[in-house]
Amino acid sequence: MKKTQKTVLLALSGGVDSSVSALLLKKQGYNVIGLFMRTLREYSTTNKACSSKQFTDEKFAKIISKMLRIKLIILDEIKPYKNKVINPMIQAYQKGLTPNPDITCNKLIKFPVLMKEAKKIKADYIVTGHYARIARKNEEYHLLQGTDKTKDQSYFLYELTQKELSKLIFPIGNLTKEEVRKIAEKNNLPNYNKPGTRGICFIGKMPSIKQFLENKIKKRKGKILSPEGKFLGTHEGTAFYTIGQKIQEHLGMRINKPKQFAQKRYYIAEKRKNNIIIAAPENHPSLLKRSVIINNLHIINPNQITPRSGLTARIRHLGQLHSGRLVNNNRFVFSKPIEGIAKGQSIVLYHKNQVLGGGIQSNPKP
């Protein structure tokens, strides 16, 4: 009896990763349908780079779908993206937090839209070009790091649920970026050498998140103090900076270093109320934190006993994996004090190469 061809709905962004994912599944015999989500047009009046980038990505998605002879669905997600991702991100920065809009986008836009559209067209699976893997064991689905540790994107996926994982395929999770580009070039895909997305997806070619925020948040001159409370200099507003960031004049931060630290680099140790930044020289104790509260902790495998020790944690994408232990399901204690813990940023927990889950960093303690 002839097997029924499985249908997959694939998030086709126009980049090389999603294009190669489509190619691989096509060769495996799947009926591949592409889905391109528009999210950027809203900002074309203030950011031509965004408008240009959106047009380029959509154009590439159309070219790839035509080359591979797959149907392409184009959905307008501009308004939901603005309301659920961009506006909350701006509000978080205004409060002095450091949000992660890519994770928010995955949770509230990308995967819900894929699941809804897949159900609508009766697709068997949904697909993305993430560098991550999925394993099934004891009727549960486990999220694993991608094989290419320099491109691993599991950090952005810790909010995935069992329902989503059961329907998900990551075709390039076992490949390196170099292998993906070689496959694309061998198969004459025009985007084989297209640069990967850097930073936040809607900024386009803008040099930094600071420049984007300056269009949305008014500058507000504030004080930079030493850990001892002495005046060092000024900045343009706590919303534009993050914990662990180096003090740099071209970013609007100006300080007069004490003579004993004149040759030392200074970093942001804390952001306080009343628009105050605490800065400290490199290796200063105030830069180090031993633990952090995890708000809204999401566990991917709720029926699995979460180990309290033998864990590692990332406090930013592709950042160092720090060893430590989970206490009371809401606090992570690091084996050694670390730098750069930013309130509002995500902390993701790992056990070996498995992603256990994660949440939002709050209240770091020395």
* Numbered ranges of CATH 2.30.30 in the chain: 218-283
**Which tens digits make up the pLDDT trace of 49-61?**
444 444 588 999 9
Q: Which residue has the higher pLDDT, 209 or 284?
A: 284
Q: Please check the confidence at residue 205 and state whether its pLDDT lies above 60.
A: no
Q: Does the active-site annotation cover 50?
A: no
Strand partners, 255: 233
Q: What is the mean pLDDT of residues 98-126?
A: 96
Cα–Cα dist 329/311, whole Å: 13
The pLDDT, as a whole number, for residue 138 is: 85
Token code pair at residue 360: 């939002």
Q: Which CATH architecture has domain 218-283?
A: Roll (2.30)
* Numbered ranges of CATH 3.40.50.620 in the chain: 7-129+171-210
Which of 103, 152, 172, 96 lies closest to 312, judged by CA?
Answer: 152
Residue in the block written with tokens 């944690």: 313
Q: Does the active-site annotation cover 201?
A: yes
**Which tens digits make up the pLDDT trace of 239-266?**
999 999 999 999 999 999 999 999 999 9
Token code pair at residue 346: 């995500």
* Mean confidence (pLDDT) of the chain: 91
The residue from 35, 103, 105, 288 that is catalytic is 105
With a pLDDT cut of 70, the percent of the chain lying above it is 91
Q: Of all helices (H) and strands (E), which one includes residue 297?
A: strand 288-299
pTM of the model: 0.91
The pLDDT, as a whole number, for residue 192 is: 84
The pLDDT, as a whole number, for residue 3 is: 55
Candidates 3.40.50.1950, 2.40.30.10, 3.40.190.10, 3.40.47.10; CATH matching 286-365 = 2.40.30.10
Quick one: CA dihedral 322, 324, 329, 330, positive or negative?
Answer: negative
The DSSP secondary-structure symbol of 52 reads H
Instruction: Tell me which fold the domain 7-129+171-210 belongs to.
Output: Rossmann fold (3.40.50)
The pLDDT, as a whole number, for residue 135 is: 97
Which of 340, 354, 349 lies closest to 137, judged by CA?
Answer: 354
The pLDDT, as a whole number, for residue 39 is: 85
Sorted by sequence, the CB contacts under 8 Å of residue 343 that are 6+ apart come out as 96, 97, 98, 243, 271, 361, 362, 363, 364
Cα–Cα dist 358/314, whole Å: 9
Token code pair at residue 270: 């804390």
Is the separation of the CB atoms in 205 and 49 below 8 Å?
A: yes
The residue from 201, 247, 294, 297 that is catalytic is 201
Cα Rg of the chain, angstroms: 22
Q: Please check the confidence at residue 201 and state whether its pLDDT lies above 60.
A: no
